[in-house]
Structure 1
Amino acid sequence: MRESVTLVHIRTQLGPWLDLHMQRRGRLLVGMLLMLLTALSALGLLAVSGWFITASALTGAVLAMGGTAMLDVYTPGGAIRLFAVSRTVSRYIERLYNHDTILRLLADLRGRLFDALVRMDGERLSGRRASDWLNRLTADIDTLDALYLRLLAPPLVALLLSIALVALVGFWVPEAALWLGLALGVSWCWLTLGQARLGLTASRRRVQTLEELRSATMETLRGLAELEAYEALVRRREQLEGIEQRLLRDQWRLSIVAGIGNALAATAIGLCWVMVLVFAIPAFQAGAVSAPVMVMLPLAAMALSEGLTPLPAAFTQFGASLAAAERLNQIDECRSDEGHISDLPNGPLALSVEAVAHRYPGAMFQALEEVSLTLEPGQRVAVSGPSGAGKSTLLALISGQMAVQQGRILLAGHDIASLSPQCLSSAVGCLTQQVDLFDARIADNLWIADPEASEQRLWQALEAVDLADWAASLEEGLATRLGEGGRQLSGGQARRMALARLWLSDPGLVVLDEPFAGLDADTAERVRHGLEDWLAGRSVVYLVHEHDPSRPKPGMQGVTLGLELGLQDPLAWHDEAESVTM
């Protein structure tokens, strides 16, 4: 976090999110105009009130001395009521409207980040803790969604309010306008750019420290029993306190910087109205302005608090917004489909795995080594091997969940690296060992695959996997909730529910990882028969522990053995480890 920050770097990091904001430029402009109307109403209210109070006092003094005077109380009185009401109403509408805009922007931000996450390969996803991704989707987005309300609209409103004040003062006292404009320009620059510069390092570092504290706290809570058992809890607590102390130091520094900014804002406002008064008094003595106008102008300058006061606190935290943008850009860079193929032919797809090897980060041995496989369109083959032989790794590579490190994988003649994530996800349908079901209705879990599917089609999907009778026996039918993680289902039912969801999709290549695991022979045969018509128009790869075409397991009739994976010699790993150590 100590690297230098240039304007180019700031534009590069904030640019994508500013562009996303600009997609709602109409709403942002209306919101800013409402903020400006509120500030100008405050300016008008103070100016007219100062003029009216002074004029009333002078008129009363003249009448008390026996003189004659006349004062129109209706026009300024109406103006005061107008500005008071417009300030209140515009403030209310502005808060309501801008918060609605921020919620829309928040949906845009989260949608964009979720889109990027689903495009990210599994290897990169596993490179960070789940708590880190969660922080980026919550804390970082919450930091960035204040970009408009804190860093875009307020400085523009303050600048326009300052220009309006300079124009008002310049109309009555032209010689004061130049000095007032200079003072306000310097103040505006310091309260924005100066505050951002002072708080940049601490606010950027604070984002990283907060993430570190959250992750460390979650790890501590999860491992509390182990820490207590190994008498490491005290040392762990000291580590947490060290992180807290670093966080508190940055927060203390930011509080000081924000306090300095608030003091300078108040000083700037005070100096401005004193400056206006200093120029207005000679003008009054020379008869260029009346006494009510002489009082009106300094009071109008006090309305600067509407524009300048919010700036110090917002721009002191500018580094946090920049850090959030930097972290989110690391995810967002996965969204681009530029240069990728977005369409593949309909129907069964050919698959070619050519000398593919893969090693996980930090692993001593390769998960796959020189694996090759050819699958013709419409063919069904089995890839067999014991646990740990690399079947799940192969599935992840074929489906694009992990990037190919060595060799290449062709789908319909195209390298999968050249396919867009959306194209690949629609072309390759997978049933993995881990079944992801949600605490929602059966129908909702199935609609994930095809949101446009009719209820009749959902029943057909359940019929294909031998779950229709079970679902029909439930009191609420398709409206039955599955519980968190699908805990209301058995393991076999959960896998069949995932198969039903896959049945609703239309991939050209289907990869099934132990599709009949947990099923008895009769159920497996019924499921195979139910899926037969659906699989007939597709290429299929079965991942199984073992497969003998002459004596197939239930549900595996007619499947040829395309590839048999084997574990490397464990002694070779041991020797390799020793040689590395030496």
Structure 2
Amino acid sequence: MIAIFRDFRPWLLLLIQRRRRFLVGAFLIWITQMAGLALLGLSGWFITASALTGIALTLGIAAHLDVYVPGGGIRFFALTRTVARYIERLYNHNTVLTLLADLRYRVFGYLTQLDDARLHGERASDWLSRLTADIDTLDNFYLRILVPPFVALLGIVTVSLFVAIWLPSVAVLMAGTLGLLWLVVTLFAATWGFSPSYQQVVDQQSLRHLVVDQVQAAAELMSYQSAQWHREIIAGHEQQAYINQRRLGRKAALINSLVSAVSGLMVVAVLWLASLAFTQQLVTAPIVVMAVLIALGVNEMFIALPASFMKLGASYAAVRRLNQLTSDSKPVHPTATLSEEAGLAIRTNHLSLHYAQTLQPALSNVDFHLPAGKRAVITGNSGAGKSSLASVLMGRLKATQGEVTIGGELPWQLSSESRAHHFAMLTQQVDLFDTSLAENLRVANPSASDAALWEVLGAVVLDGWVQQLPQGLATAVGEKGQQLSGGQARRLALARLMLRNPQVVFLDEPFAGVDAATAKHIAASLDQWLVNRTAIYFVHRANSLNLLPGVEYHWHLDAGKLSQCLLN
């Protein structure tokens, strides 16, 4: 139990920041429930009193009943219940949305603090689960596990004190029975349903992995005639998840049945004790009816609690996954700043990088110095370590040994805003959004004019193609740029990069996917744009060197080791 509380603690602290909203929301729920019970009890009292008064008058017995006060009370409680319910739903839904925003903001903040190695070490579906399913599950903890039992406990105290005014023995019975029920639907339900609800999250994660793999690898599975085999695996996991879900449902149904049975027995006991008090002339008949109806209505406070607490294990599973994310992301509070010089010098000193769970280092004792404003090219075959070196230089990865400085500062100690301002990188993976060409370009510079967009498109030989499109710059590129060819997507990403004004530029295979004539045009455009900027090209083949005017340094990477080469 202590370990569970320790895991929940950081997220409970987030709740404390919104404690006023949750207290107000709990108060509104309590008002709604108490107004409903008061309406039920007062209506029963009024109907019984009216019937008895009518019978007495029929028998010629003098009787008097003030119908205005109880009638006004019924109207008051009916309106209060309706208005309070509306305000409570509106207020608490707003609170939940605010809380979801807080949770997603925090989790996304942790994700941005992870380096490339950690991000690429997990499946995309895992990160999606953190931002969606896990947070939604944790939201269930706040919405259905914290507030309702607190309100139910407060309701038990309120009802017991109210009934004790006329029937102390009935109040003691109700307090004891309802208190026992409260323990059953909270602690017992949470303990009994912990394991299957925890497993439910594991099953959902496993199914999500399999379904995402099925979608992303559909072509490969069909090519190898393995699609049916993979679907059978998914079906097997679905069956296991269904069995576990049924087990959880049966347990919840048993607890609900127990609550209904105990509540029914409590109503019978309340009727019996109240009837004894009536025969002893301690209370009137309308009070007996009121007490019985309140005992019937109080069951409403417990209806939703068993199902909610049965899912505590699911909330805990989500919390553990989120806590693993927070432990992996080490917040850095950078204080380093870079000068606004035209270019910045780059220096590495015995730089090494070793990925987890790999035998060989990605980089080994890399040493080089690139003066400010100069250009270099680093060649190497696939897997030689070029992309890893670029990520270290950008500050996306932290070196295992040695260090790298740009402008005299460690890149990973710079804030993401500072790196975005001073550095720019064209990666092998092109990220395009499902929006227009213009909007994708303006990601780099939101204030860029249409003329600036056409200028950079001309630099990468895309202007003629865009002009032929019916919608021009407003043409949608599709999800992940699927409406573009690979070469067009890379050139669009390069054009987007050229809208910025960085001091240091890293270009990973800038001429991939284009013909020779287009590559020469792009090289000439880059030659002009890179004036006074520090730049490093990362290319596979040495024959690309004739496309790199202005390059003064050439290094070659082989199995993570860097060696200097002579320029032709």
TM-score with structure 2 length normalisation?
0.87
* Aligned counterpart, 2:31: 37
Distance 1:286 1:460 in 2: 98
| CA displacement at 1:396 relative to structure 2 | 2.2
Q: Within 5 A, what are the aligned runs for 1:111-510?
A: 111-219=105-213, 240=234, 243-333=237-327, 337-341=331-335, 343-347=337-341, 348-361=343-356, 363=358, 365-453=360-448, 455=450, 457-459=452-454, 461-462=456-457, 465-468=460-463, 470-472=465-467, 474-510=469-505
The 8 Å contact of residues 404 and 410 in structure 2, kept in 1 or not, is answered as yes
Q: Deviations over 1:280-310 (max 9, x none)?
A: 3454445443321222122112222231111
* Aligned counterpart, 1:66: 60
Distance 1:64 1:368 in 2: 102
Q: Deviations over 1:433-477 (max 9, x none)?
A: 121112211222123223455555545544554545554554433
Q: Deviations over 1:336-386 (max 9, x none)?
A: 534444644334333222223334455554433322222233222211223
Distance 1:57 1:24 in 2: 50
The 8 Å contact of residues 389 and 566 in structure 1, kept in 2 or not, is answered as yes
Q: Deviations over 1:101-150 (max 9, x none)?
A: 43443344334333333432232223233333333333223322222321
Is it true that 1:565 corresponds to 2:557 in the alignment?
yes
Distance 2:109 2:541 in 1: 37
| CA displacement at 1:414 relative to structure 2 | 3.3
Change (3 A) 1:568 1:324: closer
Distance 2:500 2:24 in 1: 43
The 8 Å contact of residues 210 and 234 in structure 2, kept in 1 or not, is answered as yes
Q: What's the secondary structure of 1:565's corresponding residue?
A: strand
The 8 Å contact of residues 14 and 325 in structure 1, kept in 2 or not, is answered as yes
Q: Aligned partner of 1:482: which letter?
A: V
The 8 Å contact of residues 435 and 498 in structure 1, kept in 2 or not, is answered as yes
The 8 Å contact of residues 136 and 328 in structure 1, kept in 2 or not, is answered as yes
Which of 543, 546, 552 is 1:553 aligned to?
A: 546
Distance 1:33 1:472 in 2: 62
Which of 506, 512, 535 is 1:511 aligned to?
A: 506
Distance 2:131 2:138 in 1: 11
Change (3 A) 1:535 1:288: farther
Change (3 A) 1:524 1:246: closer
Q: Aligned partner of 1:394: which letter?
A: L
| CA displacement at 1:258 relative to structure 2 | 1.0
| CA displacement at 1:318 relative to structure 2 | 0.6
| CA displacement at 1:319 relative to structure 2 | 0.4
The 8 Å contact of residues 336 and 413 in structure 2, kept in 1 or not, is answered as no
Distance 1:96 1:568 in 2: 59
Distance 2:275 2:404 in 1: 83
Distance 2:437 2:336 in 1: 31
Distance 2:452 2:221 in 1: 52
Q: What's the secondary structure of 2:352's corresponding residue?
A: strand
| CA displacement at 1:489 relative to structure 2 | 3.2
Distance 1:77 1:342 in 2: 73
Which blocks of at least 5 consecutive residues in structure 2 are unaligned?
Answer: 562-568
Change (3 A) 1:472 1:333: farther
Q: Aligned partner of 1:87: which letter?
A: R
Q: Aligned partner of 2:113: which letter?
A: R
The 8 Å contact of residues 353 and 409 in structure 1, kept in 2 or not, is answered as yes
Question: Over aligned residues, Cα RMSD in angstroms?
Answer: 3.4
Distance 2:490 2:235 in 1: 45
Q: Deviations over 1:182-231 (max 9, x none)?
A: 33333222211221111112211221122223323554677789879989
Change (3 A) 1:32 1:118: same
Change (3 A) 1:337 1:451: farther
Q: Aligned partner of 1:500: which letter?
A: A
TM-score with structure 1 length normalisation?
0.85
The 8 Å contact of residues 357 and 367 in structure 1, kept in 2 or not, is answered as yes
